[in-house]
């Protein structure tokens, strides 16, 4: 399993001169956005073309990042639809007491 570097925020820029490869830097930024709630449960994360534009990346780098997020359990990719945040990532998102109670109630329904 690949270790995602820590210390990247949701608005951080990628540094081609950094020790971490660009796909790992991008994965860290996207995970930070997922954990902060910028990409909520069930919503899509930017696709390959959008990531290429936003971060100035090659197609292969953007694609490798999305594959890594899927392997790490943060997103589920649906061919032709996109990559969507799944439950594992939602567990990492900050919630207030009311949201926590609502999610608990949902899980307790028959």
Structure confidence at residue 107 (pLDDT) = 37
Q: How far apart are CA 61 and CA 48, in angstroms?
A: 9
Is residue 8 in some structural domain?
Answer: no
Is residue 91 in some structural domain?
Answer: yes
- Average pLDDT of the chain, as a whole number: 83
- Model confidence at 98: pLDDT above 60: no
Residue 35 sits in a domain of what CATH number?
1.10.10.10
Domain hosting residue 96, numbered range = 22-108
Give Cα 29 distance to the centre of its chain.
8
Structure confidence at residue 5 (pLDDT) = 86
pTM: 0.77
Question: How crowded is residue 34: how many other Cβ atoms within 10 Å of its Cβ?
Answer: 25
């Amino acid at each position: 399993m690949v270790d995602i570097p820590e210390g990247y925020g949701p608005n951080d820029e990628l540094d081609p001169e950094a020790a971490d490869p660009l796909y790992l830097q991008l994965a860290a930024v996207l995970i930070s956005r997922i954990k902060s709630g910028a990409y909520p449960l069930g919503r899509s994360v930017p696709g390959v073309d959008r990531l290429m534009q936003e971060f100035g990346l090659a197609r292969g780098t953007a694609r490798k990042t999305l594959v890594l997020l899927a392997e790490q359990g943060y997103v589920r990719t649906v061919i032709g639809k996109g990559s969507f945040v799944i439950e594992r990532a939602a567990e990492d998102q900050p919630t207030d007491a009311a949201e926590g109670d609502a999610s608990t109630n949902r899980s307790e329904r028959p």
